[in-house]
Amino acid sequence: MHTGDLSPLARRWRAVWEVGERIAVIDGASALHHRGLKGFTTEGIHVSIPHTATPHAVEGVVQHKVRRPSPRPVAPGALPVATPGPAAVRAAHWARSDREAALILVLPVQQRLVTGDQLLSATTSVQGRTRRKFIKTIAADIALGAQALGELDFARICRRHALPEPDRQVVRQGPRGRIYLDVRWACGLVVEIDGAGHRWGLAVSKDNLRRNSGTLSGDLVLQIDTVGLRLFEDTFMEQVVAAHRLLRGGGVHADESSARLPSPEGKGAVGGATQ
């Protein structure tokens, strides 16, 4: 008889057995944890079940009824676990806030559990009940990078914040050839808009070289990530407005020089043990 604490794998098997071995699939954040996800915690073990099922409640297990259940494993005796793309999208639908939803979409791609294309594809096959448009937008931002935020989108954002439209894709000559700046105003303000891919491999070095080149030429360079712009538009754009006013000789108001920082809520540390 086993009397000690169960391992994470044993707890997942317990969830499947007690909910129903023929209907339960480890899903959402719990499926991603099973495949090695780090940096995100959630309470309980999440399982998906067919929407027609009526299982009894199980302590420590969060049950979600879905219309399109995840495929069952082919290998006999294998733990039924959703694939990373659909699991991430479902986890985003089940998240407590938009910030938490964005985090659970970004992390699996950054940690190589799923590709951006696979994540974007999963948004068409998984039809959740909440924040559908938001999830599709964030998945596109992650998969397509800065290209997902079209020129017209950023122009509308600038107009909302009473900024003149900047020049886009400005060409500069750098030490290693031509450099393309995402956004630049004539006053010398540059905004670099980064997708999730800009945090991988040599992309970080290339971005740093581009920013350093802009700084050496006299520009003021601000950095915004696409997902952050979706979540914290007002805060980021307050900084852009303040920088634009400063460079045009208007000075910066005290409240603008320290633009409101987002609250720590929703960063992903949700409490409870990682499952």
pTM, to two decimals = 0.76
Contact of 156 with 148, CB cutoff 8 Å:
no
Two structure tokens written together for 158 = 């600038």
Dihedral (Cα; 50, 54, 58, 63), 10-degree rounding: 30
Q: Can you say whether residue 186 is alpha, beta or left, with left for phi > 0 and alpha for psi between -120 and 50 degrees? A: alpha
pLDDT tens per residue, the chain (275 residues)? Answer: 555 688 999 999 999 999 999 999 999 999 999 999 999 988 899 999 999 998 899 999 999 999 888 877 667 789 999 999 999 999 999 999 999 999 999 999 989 999 999 999 999 999 888 899 999 999 998 888 766 666 568 888 999 999 998 887 777 666 667 777 788 899 999 998 877 655 555 556 677 677 777 777 788 999 888 888 889 999 999 999 999 999 998 655 544 444 555 654 444 433 333 44
